[in-house]
Amino acid sequence: MGVAYRVLFASTFAFVVCFAVWMMFGVIGIPIRQELGLNATEFGLLTATPILSGAVLRLPLGIWTDRFGGRLVMTVLLLACTLPVWLVGYAAQLWQFLLVGLVLGAVGASFAVGTPYVARFFPASRRGFAMGVFGAGTSGAALNLFVTPVLVAHYGWRTVPHIYAVALLVTAALFWLLSAPDPVVGHGGKAPGMGAQLRVLRDPRVWKYCQYYSLTFGGFTALSLWMPQYFIGEYGVAIGAAAMLAACFSLPAGALRALGGALADRFGAHATTWWVLWVSSVMLFLLSYPQTQLVVHTIRGPASFDIGLGLWLFVPLLFVLGVALAFGMASTFKYLGDDFPENLGVVTGIVGLAGGLGGFLLPIIWGGLLDWLGIRSSAFMLLYGVVIVALVLIFFTEVRQVDFHGRHAPPSKTRD
């Protein structure tokens, strides 16, 4: 198991760096927005553009990982993204940021490479834990929130992409040295054709898991990008404090994903996901409540009441939501490891694509809603609706067939 854990460490470290780079615009986008005079919709597009390419490339990179091995694909990906990340420091107009952001966003597809690569080194009984540990690389979002504001304050935002580009080069070298050849590639077995790999996408379970992951991972990614400017606009804090507060969401959501994988191994993917959705629905319902001033006409005249979440209450609720989403990301991939062990690369790719598309679309929609309604908590209102859809879906497809300990119940007898 020494090689397995070495691969797990190398892959997780690479994913942490990739995720930090992928989330870069969540922080440097704030001074860029001020510099270019962007509205909320344009800011959402700026932050979300790297998420789009990271989502779209997950399917082909998952397929290539099945065919060529995770070690080679991950190393090439890290090296290929170095130049576009460096070029961000020279962009001056919105279209330039969008173009280079679209290219550097490929680092986000590293998830579809590392997940099947890591899973193949572990037995089924430990696969949920292993994929959870690797998935904890999403804590790179918190790393970005800790490091980038300091760099911006001391050296300006244009220095950040250059430092991240060097970090990608160093990470590529370390990953190649510490990783090992994929155990199912290059050992006498013939790689399946493209048609055979894609045939698994006909399974309706794949698309159900896509919906789960578009909520858990897509919601996590979008909120990691959105929360720094949310804290600045809603509570009037400085950019450094806003980043630290946003880390209260993104850090547990990344670091506790391994615990979510262990829970999914212990109690089953279904039971874990079921409770994740219920906890998320309660947190999002509370977070959705806008700042409200209520005037009650009494016998002594109008009485005014202010209703809303103060910062002291908002942050703990956001923390709990982050933990729930972390467990949900891990339990979704426990489903995949159990149901599609032979096609994990392509299934990881399509489910990861759905999660990435959720992370791409949500900030743009939130920006549009903010420009239209002027209510910042409308972001949580929309995400609450997505959770309700997932609850309905899991109830009608799983609750009636699976007990709450994650075991499949015996099929019911057909009635006459």
Query: Of the ranges 33-37, 245-249, 339-343, which is most confident?
Result: 33-37
Q: d(Cα 108, Cα 78) in Å, to the nearest integer?
A: 10
For residue 402, list its beta bridge partners. 408
Residue with tokens 């995770």: 70
**C-alpha dist (Å) from residue 351 to 181, 215, 364:** 25, 11, 21
Which pLDDT band holds residue 161 (cuts at 50, 70, 90)? very high
For residue 177, tell me if it sits in a domain. yes
Q: What is the pLDDT of residue 127?
A: 75
Q: The CATH number of the domain where 334 resides is what?
A: 1.20.1250.20
In this structure, is residue 413 part of a structural domain?
Answer: no
Mean pLDDT of 295-323: 89
Mean of pLDDT over the chain: 85
**pLDDT confidence bin for 11, thresholds 50/70/90:** very high
For the chain, what is the domain count?
A: 1
pLDDT attached to residue 187? 47
**In angstroms, what CA-CA distances link 357 with 33, 56, 159?**
23, 8, 29
Residue 403 belongs to what H/E stretch? none
Domain with 159, as residue range(s), is 2-182+203-399
Is a pLDDT exceeding 50 seen at residue 148? yes
In a domain, 188, yes or no: no
Confidence of residue 403 (pLDDT cuts 50, 70, 90): very low
Lowest-confidence region among 64-78, 86-100, 196-210:
196-210
Q: Does 208 map to a domain? A: yes
SS3 string, 43-109, reads: HHHHHHHHHHHHHHCHHHHHHHHHHHCHHHHHHHHHHHCHHHHHHHHHCCCHHHHHHHHHHHHHHHH
Note the pLDDT of residue 262.
79
Distance between CA atoms of residues 363 and 47, nearest Å: 8
- The answer to whether residue 135 sits within a structural domain is yes
CA-based nearest residue to 27, from 125, 126, 144: 144
**Which helix H or strand E contains 185, and what residues bound it?**
none
159 CB contacts (<8 Å, ≥6 apart)?
Answer: 89, 151
Q: Mean pLDDT throughout 205-212?
A: 88
- Kindly tell me if the per-residue pLDDT of 178 is higher than 50: yes
Cα separation, 274 vs 317, in Å, equals 19
The most confident of the ranges 125-134, 325-334, 337-346 is 325-334
Query: Does any domain span residue 196?
Result: no
Question: Could you tell me if residue 251 is inside a domain?
Answer: yes
CA atoms within 13 A on the CB side of 408: 7
Does residue 316 register a pLDDT over 90? Answer: yes
pLDDT class for 400, splitting at 50, 70, 90? low
Residue 406 has pLDDT above 50, yes or no: no
Residue 159 belongs to some domain of the structure: yes
